[in-house]
Amino acid sequence: MKILFTCGGTAGHINPAIALARLFQFRHQGCQVLFAGADNGMERTLVPHEGYELRTVHVNTIHRAWKWKDIKHNVMTVVTLPQARRQARAILDEFRPDLVVGTGGYASYPVVKEAARRGIPTAVHESNAVPGLTTKMLSKVVDRVMVGFEDSRQHYPHPERVVVTGTPVRRDFFNDTRREARQKLGLADGKPMVLSYWGSLGADVMNHYMADFIAEEVGEGCPIHHLHGAGRNYAWLTGELGRRGVALTKGGDVEVREYIYDMPLVMAAADLVICRAGASTISELTAIAKPCILVPSPNVTNNHQEKNARVLEQHGAAVVLLEPEIDGKRLYGTAKELLADRDRLTAMSKSLTELSVTDASEEIYQTLIALLK
């Protein structure tokens, strides 16, 4: 068996493909895997790091603005398409795959489309609630479109080809119950725990909000346990809190980290998660049914984070706040209200469970295996 995975752009596109590659190789000894991605994308680092060979095609992004520089960029993107097609054909000629799977990113387009033209079984997986440009175009030619939510089916021209599989989540998110995770973190009292973190896009604004959030809770005597991942703003945030006279002691109720390396553990311990609404994050929250406040990044293509968040909101599974409409005090007030309403938190958890797919990796695996029969 030979499987070609094509993906790129973000870790949210790459990691599901790697998880699937490992599953196929575990279940089929001798299964050969090759990755295809962009020659300037994150996959150039992540894929080889996981031990897989990567072949690249030259693709550019599409800008949706109408300024002269954006029009010029898009013209160059069109000009380079023939080169990408030639590179895609060369990869398929050399590897001769039995199955081609795209998991997002512009590099998927020329590879999956050429494979479909040749009659090779093809599939694409879309983690976001609303399809991106690549998935939307490929959905017209592939054998299967795999999506994260039932609500996503309506966005595709051939719903009979759409299968709701969910999005793969790392197995270590299922290792600990809330009680076990709290014990490992040394949380012996009855205070609820809040986990907050932001992605790199727009994190500056949100970490400014978190300075007010943390100042408010410390001023009230720390009624909750709170762990915040500040990322690249760690030095600024801790410095700003110090300038305000907000003392954070080691082992205290409020902790600010630069990075949260044990995310599965701390998310399991949390009663409420405050975060962005990227596809991978949404999948993790639904998989372990964690009530959440979602603040979608306004800086992503096609506003897909808000569209992801609205799916959860419509099912009563999340509270959605828009970045331009809030501040740190409102964010803290909303968190306090939710934590004080145990019935609502329980209802949110139930709704998240109903939205989740029990084992997304298995669902995707069975869908792909069926294409090979």
**Which residues belong to the annotated binding site for UDP-N-acetyl-alpha-D-glucosamine?**
10-12, 128, 170, 200, 260, 305
Helices and strands per DSSP (H, E), number in the chain: 15, 13
Q: Cα–Cα distance between 358 and 366 in angstroms, integer? A: 14
Closest by alpha carbon to 269, among 331, 191, 342, 322?
Answer: 191
Cα separation, 108 vs 124, in Å, equals: 9
Q: Which residues have CB under 8 Å from 231's CB, separation 6+? A: 197, 198, 199, 200, 203, 207, 258, 259
Do residues 224 and 192 make contact, with C-beta atoms less than 8 angstroms apart? yes
Residue for token pair 């966005």: 155
- b/e burial code for range 32-69 (CB count within 10 A of at least 16 → b): bbbbbbbbebbbeebbeebebebbbbebbeeeeeeeee
Closest CA to 266 of 144, 335, 183: 183
State phi, psi for 318 to the nearest 5 degrees.
Answer: -160, 155
Q: Which residues pair with 79 in a beta bridge?
A: none
Q: What is the DSSP string of 210-237?
A: HHHHHHHHHHTT--SEEEEE-GGGHHHH
Residue numbering of the annotated binding site: 10-12, 128, 170, 200, 260, 305
